[in-house]
Amino acid sequence: MNVFLDTEFTDFREPKLISLGMASEYGEDFYAETPYPDNACSAFVREVVVPLLRQIPNSYFNVGNLHLEIIKWLEIVRRNKEDVFICVDYETDWDLFCQVLDHRVPPWCHYKLVNREIVELMLYDFFKHSGLPEHHALYDAQANRHAYRPNQK
């Protein structure tokens, strides 16, 4: 099964996790925000990402507990103990996911880079019709789920 993952983070040089969104191919979603060092945020993150935070109830997690919530959610959404492919369009998303899990990714979770299988026109379609903003981890994960077309460019 595919789970589309997106993260928001402080900057590109030394990324620190701000939020994480996951959207399963079956329709379930997970979203979490974490404490982050405000002074490490780029100007773009302060202007575009930060204003989108704290809008989804019950989504703020202490980093120490987040790995348990992620594993619990993944175990619930996977069907018949199938392997889970964590689909990302940017490698830093996977790196931050592994970091949150303290580099103890379950053996049934696998990395899958899908940036070449995301159809840009379908991303546009998702945001246009949903009215949701870009650069929000959950909405971007949902958009990637919507726009994923394997073996197409």
| pLDDT, the chain, mean | 96
**pLDDT band at residue 152, thresholds of 50, 70 and 90?**
low
Q: Is a pLDDT exceeding 90 seen at residue 125?
A: yes
pLDDT at 64: 86
DSSP string, 92-142: HHHHHHHHHTTT---TTEEEEE-GGGB-HHHHHHHHHHH-PPSS-HHHHHH
pLDDT digits (tens, 9 = 90+) for 59-105: 999 988 999 999 999 999 999 999 999 999 999 999 999 999 999 99
pLDDT at 63: 84
For 2-147, CATH gives 3.30.420.10
Segment 127-149 shows an average pLDDT of 98
Question: What global pTM score does this model have?
Answer: 0.96
